[in-house]
Structure 1
Amino acid sequence: MARNILKSSVQNASFSIVFQILFRCITFVLNAFIIRTVGQEVLGIMNVRLLLLESTILFLSKEPLLKACLTNTKSHNWAQVINLIWFSVPISALLGMVLVYIWVNLLSPTDDIYMNQYKLGCYAIALSCIVEQITESAVLVAQSFCFVKLKIIFETTYIISRTIIFVYLVVNYPNSAINAFSIAQIMSAVMLCCLYYGFFAWYIPSLLKFKEKGDEIERHWLFSDMDDFPFRSILNFFPGFMFNEDGKIDKNLLVLTVSFVKQSVIKQILTEGERYVMTISPVLSFSQQSMYDIVNNLGSLAARFIFRPIEESAYFYFTQMIQRDQALSKQNQINISESAEVLRHLCKIVTSIGLVVVTFGQSYSYTLLYLYGGQKLVESTLPTILLQCHCIAIVLLAVNGVTEAYAFATMTNKQLDRYNYLLVIFSILFLLISYVLTNILGPVGFILANCLNMLARIVHSIYFIYNRYKGSKHNPLKGLTPDVSFVFILIGSGFVTKFSERHLLPSSIVLHLFIGVIFLAASLAVWAYNNRDILKIGYDRYKRRASMKTD
């Protein structure tokens, strides 16, 4: 491509991060609206059962073909690529037929009052997936030729319009929330399709006109550097309309697609494993599934917005400071010393955050759920118990993120391959344990299974780090041990806030929150006093950056 691939890749990555945050925030607010308006069972049907159907159809029909078609786009025979990407349409239709039959006839049924809406929802999901796959050729061209701004505008419009349509219909027809969900899915998919094809129907003739004018094309940001754009009509986006002298399908891309199919199936199972277990297992009702989904979304906010950025930054830092294939004793000792200290500080920070979440989560889970979902959400004790258990999982998630980031950044290629196989084994065991514990303990079983999975990965990463620094003067794992005074203030805070929850919360939620703020501030003050060295490093770096900006 003539356009700047690196710049577009960075822009696309930045957009993906912003879009994910936007999507999560919208979902967060939308779930609260659904709970307060239509209840938990409807939320379970939509967020677990129907969205899992959509995810399965789209991922398996689109992901392998899209990955293959985005490979080495400079040397594409675009006629063959367009023919290949359109295979996603019949594949999604076939998958939709099979999976809709399973979802409607073989999985545990919904209550009679929701059955007709649920069936319509399954068919609507399958139809919207087919429409999205019809759009895929235009999406592929936009991505290959670096139309990053176009993607930002269209994808944001898509998610916002779907939300607006759904909310409008639910407000006016609260007893038909699943129907509203179905209509919003189809209408937004059709709109996205029209936006992409409408844009290129305008863009291609305009580009050809600018090319005829010569130098003027270079002065327009939308048309510059597009001499290699091979499409001469919007019909070229459809199979069979573009001149093709080398055969209908690129066999190499077809073989590559088959390879990606294997990866995609494994990735889909590991990514959506919990939802598959919930969907297949007859133990959890839709109400329980929605409760778990709500708690999981609330509990994972810390992971998405705090721990994940730390983990990604730590991974990049350690890859720059430590060489994979050399012993630490043979590397730059200044870098090794600094990276060991950074790892110790990071372990200290994430462990402390996790312990604070556990301590205050036990006394404020009910309050948070009440403020989020209203009285409907806390009518039973299950959501509160789930969130309290999830707080324990957050500690393990935090520690695993940093220790595994270091392990991934410094392992040799052979160690990485071995660990990838080990991760697959951990994930399969997680699914099996989830199924067993869910049948015994209900939704709590998912959280306990996740804790066991995280614990196994932490043990492996700690073992790797221990062996890595064995025999040296550095001990970064010391950061996993909290200070004694910090532990005591947390224990005291836990007792006082639990007393406040039992005796003050029923009469005054404001007073209960006020006590929590006071003891949280006291806990943070003790931690800051014990870790003055970490705060000093952060403050010095902040001053250095501020002075550089001033200069």
Structure 2
Amino acid sequence: MERNILKSSLEYASFRIIFQILFRCVTFILNAWILRIVGAEVLGVMNVRLLLLESTLLFLCKEPCIKACQTNAKHLHWPQVINQIWLTVPACTALSIPLLYIWLNCLSAPRPELLRQYELGCYSIVLSCIIEQITNVPYIIATSYCFVKTNICFDTLYTSIRTIIFVILTVQNKNDALKAFAIAQILSSIFLCALYYGFFWWYIRTINTISKVDKKLIQNKSSIFSKMDDFHFKSIIDFFPGLMENKKSKFNKDLMILSISFGKQCIVKQVLTEGERYVMTISPVLTFSEQATYDVVNNLGSLAARFLFRPIEESAYFYFTQMVRRDTLIAKQDQTKIRETSEVLSQLCAVVCSIGITVLIFGQSYSHCLLSLYGGETLTSTNLPTTLLQCHCIAIILLAINGVTEGYVFATMDNKQLDRYNYLMVIFSISFLLFSYILTYIMGPVGFIMANCINMSARIAHSCYFISNQYRDTSFRPLNGLVPKKSFFVILITSGVLVKLSEIYVYPASMIIHIAFGAVLFAICLVCWMYENQSLLKLGIERYRKRSIVKID
């Protein structure tokens, strides 16, 4: 399969960013509607308690296998990969039993009138997660063969169906919002599973026909069927374990070891990612209503991270796994690839760092304004939500740097290095939980964010050390991208001072003027950044213009 890996990664990132923007816009509108119509307690149960159960199951069961199978996807032996991916179904089922018992019997319950709906929600989360594991095989095949638009389209439809079902059922009876959430969760998972298998059933059936009739479709690189020469599947039953022709062993030992390494890592990373939710869930630090407020503010504070950094991190990880071999020193690999990889890493660091600093500077003066527009008096009656959002702005720059640097580290470490780092991640996790509990006891909800900042700083330090050591014997210095350009930084700091003065003297009298003034200063900062990063912009424009030459999907 001839592919442009960098182009595939860039297109995937672009579509993921668009999808995340649409998805988060829907989520934020939905959360605001729930907050006003249904109440904060129901929002807290859904967004913190139930979605934490979902993320725990999906992340621990799906993520290790997907990451391992994406490594050097071009040389996969598909029968072994399919057998391994299907292990996620019994793994998810087995893990759901103790988690379901904990969620139903060990954790604090909502008020009695919500209890039955809460139980239904827990069961629906488990069932939907098991159904989603069945979708892993067509998902990894679509990813490996660069069906970028297909993946994004299905994700969009899945989110849309879930939202539409939830809204329709909730409008009919707002007292059954949790029940509506449960039904929407199950039906949307079934819909996603049917989409993937239905698409590949149609695709395989079609390529089996046109391979005998019309060879021109194969030669047309813009056609979705241009991949058929290298497509290893002759029937939809090949997607199921043990049914595809296999002349090797049932499982690949190296792939299994890599999955186990990623599994250890994912346990720790899940604690780090959702640590504050685990603390809120296990200990009675906050009520469900307070959890909802924190979650709303947390989502608003993570706009940049969810819209931009996560898709960039995912596509960068896929790109680095294809360009850098895990088991060979950088100095002994193809230097053309290493030069490109170093340049891409440096440019990614520069982009995400610039975004993080910009959010930090402007966020200090526009947090109250954003909360006022979003939640009205509910979120601005006290200073706590504003303080939380301002602290999130500090965490965003760390999220930006950590996402790219750690993504590179995970993509290029060998098995032994991954195992060693897993032990280090255990230390990070334990420290994070301790800091979360202690700082939350002292500072309230702000302590969650401060603990996260401390943890991310430690992880960034380790990633930078690994990257510097890896490129020590070369002339490449990819971490130089973390240093912002001088003129951009000076203008940004000046703008931060001016918008702070605007918040003090202008915002109380006119929100519109305050926002317009910030927009002008932001535009000036953006123009300055574009001027200092002309080479990066030219590269992006060049890649965009070449889209018609090599079509991915």
TM-score normalised by L of structure 1: 0.73
Partner of 1:62: 62
Q: Where does structure 2 lack aligned partners over 5 or more consecutive residues?
A: 320-328, 332-346, 473-479, 546-553
Q: Letter of the aligned partner of 2:372 in structure 1?
A: Y
Contact 1:347 1:480 in 2 (8 A): no
Question: 1:380-424 CA deviation, whole Å, 9 max, x = no partner?
Answer: 55323423443455577679899x79x99xxx99xx999998776
Other structure's SS at 1:223 match? helix
> Following TM superposition, by how much is the alpha carbon of 1:16 offset from its aligned partner in structure 2, in angstroms?
3.0
Distance 2:19 2:310 in 1: 16
- Equivalent residues in 2 for 1:384-423, closer than 5 Å: 384-391=386-393, 393=395
Distance 1:301 1:145 in 2: 30
> Following TM superposition, by how much is the alpha carbon of 1:374 offset from its aligned partner in structure 2, in angstroms?
3.4
Contact 1:50 1:121 in 2 (8 A): yes
Residue 362 of structure 2: which of 357, 363, 368 is its match? 357
Distance 1:129 1:426 in 2: 28
Specify whether residues 57 and 358 from structure 1 end up closer, same or farther in structure 2 by C-alpha distance, changes over 3 A only. closer
- Equivalent residues in 2 for 1:322-471, closer than 5 Å: 353=358, 356-357=361-362, 359-361=364-366, 365-379=367-381, 381-391=383-393, 393=395, 425-426=427-428, 428-453=430-455
Q: Where does structure 1 lack aligned partners over 5 or more consecutive residues?
A: 317-323, 327-341, 469-473, 505-510
Partner of 1:298: 300
Distance 2:295 2:534 in 1: 39
> Following TM superposition, by how much is the alpha carbon of 1:425 offset from its aligned partner in structure 2, in angstroms?
4.5
Contact 2:10 2:315 in 1 (8 A): no
Q: Letter of the aligned partner of 1:76 in structure 2?
A: H
> Following TM superposition, by how much is the alpha carbon of 1:432 offset from its aligned partner in structure 2, in angstroms?
1.5
State the structure with more CA Rg: 1
Partner of 1:76: 77
Contact 2:82 2:240 in 1 (8 A): yes
Specify whether residues 400 and 13 from structure 1 end up closer, same or farther in structure 2 by C-alpha distance, changes over 3 A only. closer
Q: Letter of the aligned partner of 1:4 in structure 2?
A: R
Specify whether residues 246 and 178 from structure 1 end up closer, same or farther in structure 2 by C-alpha distance, changes over 3 A only. same
> Following TM superposition, by how much is the alpha carbon of 1:100 offset from its aligned partner in structure 2, in angstroms?
1.0
CA-atom RMSD in angstroms = 5.1
- Equivalent residues in 2 for 1:137-216, closer than 5 Å: 137-213=137-213, 215=215
Distance 1:539 1:75 in 2: 39
Partner of 1:497: 503
Contact 2:269 2:425 in 1 (8 A): no
Contact 2:9 2:316 in 1 (8 A): no
Question: 1:307-328 CA deviation, whole Å, 9 max, x = no partner?
Answer: 8899999999xxxxxxx999xx
Q: Letter of the aligned partner of 2:279 in structure 1?
A: V
Distance 1:19 1:190 in 2: 21
Q: Which moved more, 1:391-400 or 1:276-285?
A: 391-400
Q: Letter of the aligned partner of 2:198 in structure 1?
A: G
Distance 2:124 2:70 in 1: 29
Contact 2:361 2:493 in 1 (8 A): no
Q: Letter of the aligned partner of 2:164 in structure 1?
A: I
> Following TM superposition, by how much is the alpha carbon of 1:268 offset from its aligned partner in structure 2, in angstroms?
2.0
Contact 2:138 2:197 in 1 (8 A): yes
Q: Letter of the aligned partner of 2:3 in structure 1?
A: N
Specify whether residues 536 and 85 from structure 1 end up closer, same or farther in structure 2 by C-alpha distance, changes over 3 A only. closer
> Following TM superposition, by how much is the alpha carbon of 1:522 offset from its aligned partner in structure 2, in angstroms?
7.8
> Following TM superposition, by how much is the alpha carbon of 1:369 offset from its aligned partner in structure 2, in angstroms?
1.8
Contact 1:308 1:401 in 2 (8 A): yes
Q: Does 1:287 align with 2:292?
A: no
Q: Does 1:12 align with 2:9?
A: no
> Following TM superposition, by how much is the alpha carbon of 1:121 offset from its aligned partner in structure 2, in angstroms?
0.6
Partner of 1:274: 276
Distance 1:487 1:522 in 2: 11
Contact 2:362 2:496 in 1 (8 A): no
Other structure's SS at 1:175 match? helix
> Following TM superposition, by how much is the alpha carbon of 1:289 offset from its aligned partner in structure 2, in angstroms?
1.5
Q: Letter of the aligned partner of 1:91 in structure 2?
A: A
- Equivalent residues in 2 for 1:2-41, closer than 5 Å: 2-4=1-3, 6=5, 7-41=7-41
Q: Does 1:257 align with 2:287?
A: no
Other structure's SS at 2:371 match? helix
> Following TM superposition, by how much is the alpha carbon of 1:482 offset from its aligned partner in structure 2, in angstroms?
11
Question: 1:408-457 CA deviation, whole Å, 9 max, x = no partner?
Answer: 9xxx99xx999998776455423311121223333121123234446667
Partner of 1:115: 115
Q: Does 1:234 align with 2:216?
A: no
Contact 2:68 2:262 in 1 (8 A): yes
> Following TM superposition, by how much is the alpha carbon of 1:101 offset from its aligned partner in structure 2, in angstroms?
0.9
Specify whether residues 480 and 303 from structure 1 end up closer, same or farther in structure 2 by C-alpha distance, changes over 3 A only. farther
Other structure's SS at 1:226 match? helix
Q: Which moved more, 1:298-307 or 1:83-92?
A: 298-307
